[in-house]
Amino acid sequence: MRNWLPASVKSGPYLGRAMKAFRAHGSYRAGKRDQPFSVDLVATDEDDAMERVLSTFGSRHRVKRRFILVDGIAEIDPASSSAPTVQAHFGVSGKQPSAPKTEEE
């Protein structure tokens, strides 16, 4: 018979915090040009949103943090976002509900 311990519950830094939807816009250096961007993301506050923007662009585009210029970060309504991560987190769909069809004769 094996002796085993029950699995422990993992807790993280974001466990139990209220998350919000944010939209960040700015530009980053891509070669010799500046590439503008606008990205929707889920974060706890503006500082966390800034960290996630810098982390994401550094990871996906291999841009150093000093070459990422964020012009602004604003909290948005999750229903106004078309980003899949925002829609999945808040449980909103990108499609507007349609009116019920009536049968006309």
Domain assignment present for residue 76? The answer is: yes
Residue 3 lies in a domain: no
Q: Which range among 32-41, 49-58, 86-95 shows the weakest confidence by mean pLDDT?
A: 86-95
Residue for token pair 């070669």? 31
Task: Report in angstroms the alpha-carbon separations of 49 from 4, 31, 32, 100, 104.
Answer: 40, 25, 27, 39, 50
SS3 61: helix
d(CA 86, CA 39): 11
In this structure, is residue 5 part of a structural domain?
A: no
Q: Residue 78: its pLDDT value, please?
A: 92
Q: In the predicted model, what is the mean pLDDT of residues 1-20?
A: 60
Residue-number span of the structural domain to which 75 is assigned:
20-90
Tell me how far apart the alpha carbons of residues 60 and 11 are, in angstroms, rounded to a whole number: 27
pLDDT band with cut points at 50, 70 and 90 for residue 59: very high
Mean pLDDT computed over every residue of the chain: 83
What DSSP letter does each residue of 66-96 carry, written as one string? GGEEEEEEEE--GGG---HHHHHHHT--SSP
Number of domains in the chain: 1
Query: Quick one: pLDDT band at residue 49, thresholds 50, 70, 90?
Result: very high
Q: What is the CATH number of the domain that holds 38?
A: 3.10.20.10
**Residue 3: per-residue pLDDT:** 63
